[in-house]
Amino acid sequence: MKTSTAVAASLLTMASAVGAQDLPKPASTLSRAVATAVNMQPAIPRPEQDAAAAEKLDAFVDATGQRPNIVIFIVDDMGYGDPGAFGGGGMIGAATPNMDQLAAEGLKLTSTYSQYTCTPTRAAIYTGRLPARTGLIRPILAGDTITVNPWEGELSVAGLLSDAGYHTMLVGKWHIGETEGMRPHDVGFDEFYGFYKAQKEYTQDVYQMRFPDLALDPDKLERYHAIGSNNDLIYGLKDGTTETVETIDSLQDMAEGDRKLRDYTLTRIEELATGDKPFLISHSFMKVHADNFPSEEFKGTSASKFPYRDNMVEVDAYIGDIVAKLDAVGELENTFVFVTSDNGPQMDSWPDSGYTPFRGAKGTTWEGGVRVPGIAYWKGMIAPGRVSDGLFDLMDLFNTSLALAGVTPDVLPDTSYFDGIDQSSFLLMDDGESKREQVYNWLGAQLAAMRMREYKAHLLVSLAQEKFLYIDMATVVPTGLAPWLFNLYIDPKEEYPVGHRMNAWTASLGAELKAHAATFKAFPPKDLGL
């Protein structure tokens, strides 16, 4: 296994092998990002920061004799403003002391970006590639027919780390396919304990209050079940073992789902701590995706008493339990922890929904749809009390995890384009700065917007035709002669465009968007028929 110093060296080798003259130049003078390979997202060079971080990581590996564990918490549909550390918490009737503590004792990232909805974000985290490239452009729903296995030709961070000596495990929600060949344990995870789909899809056939036309109609129920979608809590192993732990057939079964996931992760951490392999755990909550049902232990425990808020309290408590377990088994200082959400709140299901201070919601590329909480925590390795508005795309977790695991980027095929950036030096150095210059926001197969520095330029906008109905009654409209251009420092809610009349960079931002789109010509995307 190569050290992280070797990672930096091999990047340089890669750059010189290609030849600087072949590498794409920045599309505008506004961009500080530099290409190191034709198939990699250009990044802001920070050679001193990178070298210092590599040294810090090498010292960790030398001292402990192993690579760090990685634990990524993905809360489903949690809004930017839900955790107290991001402005919510007690203020909105659901205190989140555990997340707040991780943020206070780690690095709070205020410009973290997801994709616009569940499946695309998860696919992006695990592949380091934009959903528009892999074809996973929207959630896969019960009844969907996919013509091509999206995982064909893809590498997952779980598979790469497994090959590098990690034990890799997904606990909780998957949502990137449930047929053989597409399941977590088929695509790199050594172990899976969880659910193939989103919370709502398990309970809609038994939720008589919200879905009476289905749940109370035997004929429709029979037809619905004929779709054959899996309704089980599943245990799977890389060798193909796939077992049903429990079939979900009541609201209470689903209400207790996250408790079972928590218990499983606690047990496995205890066991894995006695082994000699580092581990990657993606602990992906089913909550707080609608429809939310409170578990017995947490019913009414939030100040608000609403099921969504009770479930925020539950999720926060479980994050605390899992971090406490890492500490109890002596692994906390060996573990990089990241907490985030896979998209903005689903306002369509209000009041069973989260909170964002921004415009828009899940299903859109407004800030409300794609800006999510981000907390990076690693006791002893990430300085407490840091806050940064440096850009961080959740896809960066792919490259960053590889770097932490000591896996060099030369394992990535040069026939595929990779959109993630190794942000390990940003996260690990006390004064670390982001290496990401642009975040591209895709709406399905269409490039809708881009954040670059504090500017956000929209080519396509989702306009809700009723307040909050950003999915069920929105129209997507191309913008006019100029992109809708907002300065997020003076207008974080994207209410009043500065446009070309107040911004000198309109043409530059347009050129950046065009250059990004051009990478799809050089590296054609897959079409799954979604």
Distance of closest approach, residue 41 Cβ to Ca ion, in angstroms? 23
Looking at the Cβ atoms of 136 and 269, the one nearer to Ca ion is 136
Q: C-alpha angle 83/106/317, rounded to 5°?
A: 40
CB of 39 to Ca ion, least distance (A): 28
Closer to Ca ion by CB, 200 or 262: give it. Answer: 200
Q: Which residues bind Ca ion (CB under 5 A)?
A: 76-77, 118, 342-343
Question: Which CB sits closer to Ca ion, 430 or 472?
Answer: 472
Residue type for position 383: A
> Residue 142: which of 227, 231, 232 has the closest Cα?
227
Closest CA to 116 of 474, 339, 362: 362
The neighbour count for residue 276, using CB atoms within 10 Å, is 9
Q: Six-digit token pair at 502? A: 């107040």
Cβ–Cβ < 8 Å for 173, 183: no
Residue (119 or 506) nearer to Ca ion, CB = 119
Q: CA 91 → CA 87, 88, 292, 369, 469, distances in Å? A: 7, 5, 20, 21, 24
Helix (H) or strand (E) segment spanning residue 399: helix 396-405
Give the separation between CA 401 and CA 7, rounded to whole angstroms: 13
Going through 324-425 in order, the beta strands assigned E by DSSP cover: 335-341, 371-377, 386-388, 392-393
In the three-class reduction of DSSP (H, G, I as helix; E, B as strand; rest coil), residue 402 is classed as helix
- The least CB distance from residue 372 to Ca ion, in Å, is 10
The first and second tokens of residue 158, run together, are 């779980």
Shortest distance (Å) from residue 110 CB to Ca ion? 20
Here the tokens at position 255 are 């209400």
**Identity of the residue, 360 or 497, whose beta carbon is nearer to Ca ion in the bound complex:** 360
DSSP states along 23-62: SPPPSSTT---B-SSTTB--B---HHHHHHHHHHHHHHHH
Taking the complex as a whole, the smallest distance from the CB of residue 270 to Ca ion amounts, in Å, to 29
Q: Using the minimum distance from each CB to Ca ion, give the nearer residue, 76 or 422.
A: 76
CB of 346 to Ca ion, least distance (A): 7
Smaller CB distance to Ca ion: residue 77 or 291?
A: 77
Of residues 101 and 343, the one with the C-beta less far from Ca ion: 343
The CB-of-209 to Ca ion minimum distance in angstroms stands at 22
Minimal distance, residue 400 CB to Ca ion, in Å = 21
Q: How far is the CB of 289 from Ca ion (least distance, A)?
A: 6
Measured from the CB atom, the residue of 42 and 194 that comes closer to Ca ion is 194
Structure tokens that stand for 100 in this block:
């707040």
Residues 6+ apart with CB under 8 A from 222: none
Residue 478 belongs to what H/E stretch? strand 474-478
At residue 21, φ and ψ (nearest 5 deg) are -65, -20
Which residue number places its CB atom closest to Ca ion? Answer: 118
Nearer to Ca ion, 342 or 422 (CB): 342
> Omega into 288 within 30° of 0, i.e. cis?
yes
* DSSP per-residue codes, 355-372: --SSSS-TTSSSHHHHEE
Residue 77 or 331: the one with the smaller Cβ distance to Ca ion is 77
Provide the minimum distance between the beta carbon of 299 and Ca ion in the complex, in angstroms, as a whole number: 23
**Least Cβ distance, residue 443 to Ca ion (angstroms):** 15
Q: What are phi and psi of 460, to 5 degrees?
A: -135, 140
